[in-house]
Amino acid sequence: MSIIAQEVARRRTFAIISHPDAGKTTLTEKLLLFSGAIQLAGTVKGKKSGRHATSDWMEIEKQRGISVASSVMQFDYRDHIINLLDTPGHQDFSEDTYRVLTAVDSALMVIDAAKGVEDQTIKLLEVCRLRDTPIVTFMNKYDREVRDSLELLDEVENILKIQCAPITWPIGMGKTFRGVYHILRDEILLFDAGQDSAQQLVNEVISGIDNPRLDELFPLEIEQLRNEIELVQGASHPFNLEAFLSGKQTPVFFGSAINNFGVREILNALVDWSPAPAARHATKRDVEPTEGKFSGFVFKIQANMDPKHRDRIAFVRVCSGKFERGMKMKHLRLNRDIAANTVVTFMAHEREQVEEAFAGDIIGIPNHGNMQIGDTFSEGEALAFTGIPFFAPELFKTARIRNPLKIKQLQKGLQQLGEEGAVQVFKPLNGSDMVLGAVGVLQFEVVASRLNNEYGVEAVFESTSTATARWVSFKDNKQKAEFEKALQHQLSVDAGGNLAFLATSRVNLQLTQERWPDVVFHATREHA
C-alpha cells in the first residue's frame, strides 16, 4: 500500500450532531479526554451564554480553561487520526450546519434519553440522509430518569427512519443505573456513579450475562435484565456493517457522557466501523482520496476567531493526495497559484502549523477575504468539487445604521459575513441598501451581534419588499443583457459575485419564470 493509502485508511472524519442541550459539548470533551488529547475534564457548568458566534468548544475553553482552538479538532486514538467537527449549536437551523456535514464521512448523533428525538435532530438527520452519511447513536443521560429504552429505539426508527442496532443495552437508569450490557461482546460494563472526577476512565467488566457474580451484585434485578436482553436480541436488528455504511442502520450505544460512561465504546465504534475518507464528486470526474495529487474544498469560513488577530480562516477538507507545507496549489475560481506557507491544523490545545495532511483532514488557510465557501484548491488540475450547497433564502431584511458615518464599516462587515456564509448578502444592481437573506431567523440576530462586536456597527434590520430569491443563469450573454435591462431593479449580486433575482412574491417569481422560459432560476447554488 502506498503511504497515501495507508494514511487515508487510518483517518476518520465525523461531525457531532444533536439538539441543543443533549450533551454534545460534554461528550466532545469526554472524547478528547479518552483519546488523551486533553488531561482535564469535569462538568461543563451552567447554560452557555454566548451561543451565537462562538463554537460550543470555545465555550468549553472559557468554562474549563482548556485551550480549544476551533470548531474543528484533530486527535489520535488507537493509531488512527480522528477529525471531529462541531456543528453550530444554534436553536435555529442554519446553512452552516449543512455545509459542515458535506465535509465529513460519518456522524455521531447524541440524544437526550429523557427527551428522545427532538426537532433539530430531525433536521440534521434529513441532511445526513442526502448523502447517506453513516450515523452512530449515543443515548445520553442514563444517570437520570429517562424514557423507556425500547420506546426510544422505536422513536428513532419511526421518526428518523433509520434502523436501530443496539450494541450496548442499559441496565436500569437514574439512581439504579448499573451499567450496560455489551451485546456483541457478551460483557457487562459496570457503572460507578460519582465518577465525574474524570480521572477514572476504566469500568469494571464482568464477562457473560450468565456470570453468577451478577446474581450476587444485583440479586433483585438480574432476572429481569436477562429477560429484557433476550427480548431485545429477539426484537431488534443485529448490527450489520454494510447497512451502517449505507446509512440505513445506526448502531446505538447507551451511557452518561458526564460520568464518562459509554464514551470509549463510541470511540471504538468510530475507529472500527466508520468509513475512512471516500471518493468525492467533482466536475468532470470523481476524485479518489488515494490519488497522488492534492485537492480540497472550502466548506466553512470563520472570521475573527481570535479577536486579537482579526483573522479569517478558510476551512478546507482535504479530498486527495498529500498536502505539504509550502506547496503550490491552484485556487481554481481565481485561476491563481497560491503558496501554502502558513496553513494551520487544529489540535485540542492549539493551532499548529500543518506540515502534512491527507484526505479527511481539515486544514485552515488564513486569508484576507479572497477565499470563499465552495472554492476548490488543487495541485494543478482544474477540478471543482460539487455538493456544497447554498440555499435560496426565505427571509429578507435590509440593514440600516443609526450612525451614517459608519456606512463603510457596515458594508465591510456585511461583505465579510456574507463571504463567511453567516448570512447571504445581496447588493442590488440599482440602489445602495444591501439586502440580507437568511434561512433561519436567528441568522439576523447573529449578524446584528457580530456587526456590533466585531465591526463596531449598530445596525437595525427592516423588512423589505423581497419575498424570495433565485440565482439566475443564461444561455448566452445576449440573453443576460436583455434580462438585466428588463429587470435591473430586481437584480442583485451575492457575496460570491453571482447574479440573483429578488422576487416580491411567489406570483412575481412565477410570472417572471413564465416570461423568461429560457432563463434558469436556481433555488440552490452549489459552488462559486
Query: Is 286 assigned a ligand-binding role in the annotation?
Result: no
Instruction: Give CB contacts under 8 A, 24+ apart, made by 339-344.
Output: 340/365, 342/366, 344/313
The residues, any chain, with a CB within 8 Å of residue 352's CB and separated by 6 or more, are 344, 345
Between 249 and 256, CB nearer to ligand GDP: 256
Least separation in angstroms between CB 147 and ligand GDP: 14
Task: Please report how close the Cβ of residue 311 comes to ligand GDP at its closest, in angstroms.
Answer: 25
Judge whether 19 is annotated as a binding position.
yes
How far apart are CB 24 and ligand GDP at their closest, in Å? 3
**92 assigned binding-site residue:** no
Q: Is there a binding annotation on residue 18?
A: yes
Grid coordinates representing 316 are: 478546507
- Report which residue type is found at 378: S
Q: Which runs of consecutive H residues, i.e. helices, occur in 405-441?
A: 407-420
* 87 marked as part of a ligand binding site: yes
Distance CA 511, CA 314 (A): 39
Query: 367 labelled as ligand-binding?
Result: no
Distance CA(375)–CA(337), nearest Å, equals 13
For the CB of residue 442, give the shortest distance to ligand GDP in the complex, in Å.
15
Q: Using the minimum distance from each CB to ligand GDP, give the nearer residue, 256 or 320.
A: 256
Is 88 one of the annotated binding-site residues? Answer: yes
Nearer to ligand GDP, 124 or 503 (CB): 124
Decide whether 20 or 387 has the Cβ nearer to ligand GDP: 20
Q: Which residues bind ligand GDP (CB under 6 A)?
A: 18, 20-26, 43-44, 56, 89, 140-141, 143-144, 256-259
Residue 36 is labelled as binding a ligand: no
- Nearer to ligand GDP by Cβ, of 14 and 455: the residue is 14
Quote the least distance from Cβ 48 to ligand GDP, whole Å: 6
Cell of 85: 467537527
* Residues contacting 164, CB < 8 A, separation 6+: 137, 153, 156, 157, 236, 237, 249, 250, 252
Spatial neighbors of 501 by CB under 8 A, at least 6 apart, are 469, 470, 471, 472, 487, 490, 491, 509, 512, 521
Bridge-partner residues for 76, per DSSP?
A: 81
User: Would you say 173 or 500 has its CB closer to ligand GDP?
Assistant: 173
Q: How far is the CB of 29 from ligand GDP (least distance, A)?
A: 8
- Which of these, 439, 498, 451, lies nearest to 96 by C-alpha position? 439
Contact (Cβ atoms closer than 8 angstroms) between residue 502 and residue 435: yes
Can you say which residues are annotated as belonging to the binding site? 18-25, 86-90, 140-143
Can you say which residues are annotated as belonging to the binding site for GTP? 18-25, 86-90, 140-143
